[in-house]
Amino acid sequence: MDRPVIAITGPARGAFGPRALVALAVRLYGGQPLQVRPGDDLERLTYHGVVVTGGHDVEPVLYAAEPEVEPNYDPARDALEMAMIRAALAEGLPLLGICRGAQLLNVCRGGTLFQELRSRRSKTSHRWTVLPLKTLCVTEDSRVLGRILAPCCRRHINSLHNQAIDRVGEGLQVSGRDLDGIVQAIEDPEAGFLLGVQWHPEFLLYLSRQRALFGALVAQARCVLVAGTSAN
């Protein structure tokens, strides 16, 4: 059986490490990674699942807000990834949004973001770290994340973000928070696999539960591939 193709988004330049780690995780579960960057012709690409990786902050104009912090935006990347998210939503493709990918998914569904988090933290550190030093509390009613990490559990995650989800977008629900109550994961329980996580699982591939996030994505993408093959 052919391997499902997983589109991995990223900036036009840089971010080689995170993209390579996501590609490694995709290959581990039998998927074929496809790196996608601004300027690529999306209409010529064929893929069965999407990973939207982390990076620059999401531009506030996309959710009708005024900038509150020093800008660090990538409009070309925003445009590419929002187009890919909307296409995945329209076609029912599995999607995993990582950090800014989760934020963009929320914005595409009409949600909003907090532009800074330092003032909203009292129990957790604002320090960036790739190490799993922050606590994730998975919600009891999570169907997607709960199936992978176990519902009502606590897991250790990393933290590399300035922004986070404020108002949750249409059809999405919160499936994980940190100890300050800041949203760490969103999902659509009605979709096959539609998940956004605020942390970076690609830096935690040595943890089986974190690898399993990519495994679940590839498994659902394989179903998309098989269904398309059968239809033809």
* Domains of the chain in sequence order: 5-231 (3.40.50.880)
Quote the percentage of the chain above a pLDDT of 70.
84
At residue 112, the pLDDT reads 92
Residue 14 reports pLDDT greater than 80: no
Q: Sign of the C-alpha dihedral, residues 176, 128, 63, 193?
A: negative
Dihedral-angle region of residue 56 (phi above 0 means left; psi in -120 to 50 means alpha; beta otherwise): beta
How far apart are the C-alpha atoms of 19 and 52, rounded to whole Å?
A: 10
Which residues 6+ apart lie within 8 Å of 119 measured at CB?
A: none
Residue 232 reports pLDDT greater than 70: no
Main-chain phi, psi angles of 6, to 5 degrees: -115, 115
For helices 100-108 and 75-91, what crossing angle results, to 10°? 60
Degrees to nearest 5, angle at CA 88 with 108 and 77: 60
Chain segment 163-197, per-residue pLDDT in tens: 889 999 999 999 999 998 999 999 999 999 999 99
Residues annotated catalytic, as ranges: 99, 200, 202
User: pLDDT band for position 61 (50/70/90)?
Assistant: very low
CB contact at 8 A, 166 and 113: yes
